[in-house]
Amino acid sequence: MKSDQLSWLGLCGLLSVTTLQAKEPATKMLSEGHPPNVVLILTDDLGYGDLNCYGATRYLTPNLDKLAAGGVRFTNFYVSQAVCSASRAALLTGCYSTRIGIGGALFPSSTIGLNPQEETIPEILKKKGYKSGIFGKWHLGYQRKFLPLQQGFDEYLGLPYSNDMWKYNLDGSVATPEQNKNKASYPPLPLIEGNDMIKEIKTMDDQATLTTRYTQRAVLFIDKHKNEPFFLYVPHSMPHVPIAASSKFKGKSDQGLYGDVVMEIDWSVGQIMDAIEKNGLAKNTLVIFASDNGPWINYGNHAGSAGGFREGKGTSWEGGQRVPCIMKWPGHIPDGIVCNKIAAMMDILPTLAHIAGAPLPKLKIDGINIISLLKGDLNANPREVFLYYYNSNCLEAVRKNQWKLVFPHRSQTYEGYLPGNDGIAGKTGNIQVETALFDLRRDPGERYDVKELYPEVVAELSKIADEARADLGDGIRNIKGANVREPGRMEVPEPK
Ligand code: MG
């Protein structure tokens, strides 16, 4: 073990959790050596039940299961919103996405993006000498000023938004306006290197190369930066539809193409772990794996599993918001622990800032340092409250510990609709949801409304919601939050 790791461990043993949460001691702790590398792997639309260690049964995910066995597996880990752009905005800034004006998913026609004024994880870590690379899907604005190299990353290869934002039908033909007006209007789906398109993704064979392309670049990045601290972000395009696996995995699972695609992601994790090991970096690298939102259930056999939670992507039910999350950091996170406490995407930034000894962003953030959970402190509960926002800024529910209070809102629903298959979407419904209180300890499936039985809990959670509305706003009640910020905007729309 290197001396910097020993000093880190030794000091951690002496300091209380409270002290650890302060900013300064972390800087001192790491003054003798370089702070740990961080590898953050994100999947797109992978459900809570899609890994073996979370209940998947018809294919194998040995590398992710090994990651969990050597670290912490979270069971109550939340995304900021159950949709791509909003989820990623929260991850990279440590803010509820509604605070920074990014709601839902951005499209090729969007003229907004992640405001360059917001400080991102790579910008925070750069202050401590980190080099950062992103190999995968960005989805926080496709115009140059919003792309990764302008938001703190040193290297970028990937797609600027979702892999279904292209003009092709599943049979490879170009969509006509009569078939799909949106699709027909999409520009070529670019594979971007740095700031420039190097290739158009035009076919399903092209889609099938994405997981391997990202993986190869991730491995090269580790090799290249092994002697300095790095932040490697691998946001896979898969298993977002249209799903595709390379010949290495096509036909390998007992769950059709979806299983093949998840197996390839698992392989990718194994390749990255091998590169870390080969370069002697295992003890000084924190690896995080998570998903951006729950499964897109109306895609049937091309969708994942919410693992028994209610509904999926595009809803504030647990199936949309709760995702698998695993973190491994040998010598710091105990082996094989399960964390049942609430944690969220926004918490990653302040936790990494603490670990690296980097200052927090100057503007207000929502993330909480969860280093105590990583270190296996069973009594710690750094995040008691989680706010379920959807759309631009609609507060649909609030959770405190085991209780979740749902507010009246319109919700997409998958219930009662036959899903599509083989890449074709099935119909979904839209329902009015009324006030309900769920005890997520007894009823994780959100089936039994107990608001009449626990009026004092309803009152307590309502008060938390009112405070949130004043701070962050609530589109359902037409309340503008006092502390929300604008997204980045294009001054002049770029010509199409
Ligand atoms: Mg997604």
Q: Which two tokens stand for residue 78?
A: 């939340």
Total number of domains in the chain: 2
Sorted by sequence, the CB contacts under 8 Å of residue 184 that are 6+ apart come out as 167, 174, 175, 176, 177
Sorted by sequence, the CB contacts under 8 Å of residue 140 that are 6+ apart come out as 85, 88, 89, 92, 102, 106, 113, 114, 146, 151
- Identify the domain boundary among 331, 359, 384: 384
- Inform me whether the pLDDT recorded for 241 exceeds 60: yes
pTM of the model: 0.93
- pLDDT of 33: 67
- Inform me whether the pLDDT recorded for 334 exceeds 70: yes
Q: Which two tokens stand for residue 49?
A: 């039940």
- Reference 396, options 42, 75, 50, 83; nearest CA is 83
Q: What is the mean pLDDT of residues 263-290?
A: 98
Output the DSSP codes for 278-324.
HTT-GGGEEEEEEESS---GGGGGGS---TT-SS-TTSSSHHHHB--
27, part of any domain: no
For residue 465, the 8-state DSSP code is: H
417, part of any domain: yes
- What b/e string do you get for 14-35 counting C-beta neighbours within 10 Å, with b at 16 or more? eeeeeebbeeebbbebbeebbb
Reported confidence tier of residue 494, pLDDT bands at 50, 70, 90? low
Ligand 1 center to residue 67 CA distance, Å?
A: 22
340, part of any domain: yes
Ligand 1 center to residue 236 CA distance, Å?
A: 10
Q: What is the mean pLDDT of residues 322-343?
A: 97
- Inform me whether the pLDDT recorded for 15 exceeds 80: no
pLDDT tens for 461-477 read: 999 999 999 999 999 99
What proportion of the chain, given as a percentage, has pLDDT over 90? Answer: 90
Number of residues assigned to the chain: 496
Q: What SS3 class is residue 274?
A: helix
Could you tell me if residue 116 is left (phi over 0), alpha (psi between -120 and 50 degrees) or otherwise beta? alpha
Ligand 1 center to residue 445 CA distance, Å?
A: 21
Claim to verify: residue 103 and residue 136 sit in the same structural domain: yes
- Identify the domain boundary among 361, 384, 407: 384
Q: What angle do CA 438, 368, 309 make, to 5 degrees?
A: 30
Claim to verify: residue 321 and residue 442 sit in the same structural domain: no
Ligand 1 center to residue 192 CA distance, Å?
A: 19
- Inform me whether the pLDDT recorded for 2 exceeds 60: no
CA atoms of 52 and 41, how far apart (whole Å): 17
Top-confidence residue, 249 or 9 = 249
Q: Which two tokens stand for residue 437?
A: 């209180």
Q: What SS3 class is residue 199?
A: strand
Claim to verify: residue 376 and residue 391 sit in the same structural domain: no
Question: Which residues, listed in sequence order, are joined to residue 370 by a DSSP beta bridge?
Answer: none
CA dist 224 to 42, 227, 251, 285, 328, Å?
A: 22, 8, 34, 15, 22
Claim to verify: residue 376 and residue 452 sit in the same structural domain: no
Is 44 within 8 Å of 235 (Cβ atoms)?
yes
Output the DSSP codes for 368-431.
---HHHHTT-TT--S--EEEEEETTTEEEEEEETTEEEEPSEEEEE-TTS----TTPPPP-EEE
Is 138 within 8 Å of 147 (Cβ atoms)?
yes
CA atoms of 417 and 303, how far apart (whole Å): 14
- Reference 20, options 379, 369, 381, 378; nearest CA is 369
- pLDDT of 8: 40
CA atoms of 388 and 464, how far apart (whole Å): 12
Claim to verify: residue 398 and residue 379 sit in the same structural domain: no
Claim to verify: residue 349 and residue 403 sit in the same structural domain: no
Helices 62-69 & 256-278 angle (0-180, nearest 10)? 50
CATH number at residue 376: 3.40.720.10
CA atoms of 423 and 449, how far apart (whole Å): 35
Claim to verify: residue 230 and residue 300 sit in the same structural domain: yes
Question: Which helix (DSSP H) or strand (DSSP E) does residue 467 occupy?
Answer: helix 455-472
Claim to verify: residue 439 and residue 485 sit in the same structural domain: yes
16-30, 59-73, 264-278, 385-399: range with lowest mean pLDDT: 16-30
Claim to verify: residue 87 and residue 175 sit in the same structural domain: yes
CA atoms of 363 and 96, how far apart (whole Å): 13
Claim to verify: residue 269 and residue 172 sit in the same structural domain: yes
12-16, 113-117, 226-230, 429-433: range with lowest mean pLDDT: 12-16
165, part of any domain: yes
CA atoms of 33 and 40, how far apart (whole Å): 22
Ligand 1 center to residue 249 CA distance, Å?
A: 22
329, part of any domain: yes
Domain that holds residue 313: 2-19+34-384
356, part of any domain: yes
25, part of any domain: no
Ligand 1 center to residue 2 CA distance, Å?
A: 39
Residues known to be catalytic: 84, 139
pLDDT tens for 93-103 read: 999 999 999 99
- Inform me whether the pLDDT recorded for 13 exceeds 50: no
CATH number at residue 462: 3.30.1120.10
Average pLDDT for the chain: 93
193, part of any domain: yes
Claim to verify: residue 188 and residue 77 sit in the same structural domain: yes
Claim to verify: residue 241 and residue 198 sit in the same structural domain: yes
- Identify the domain boundary among 384, 414, 443: 384
Q: What is the mean pLDDT of residues 156-185?
A: 94
- Inform me whether the pLDDT recorded for 312 exceeds 50: yes
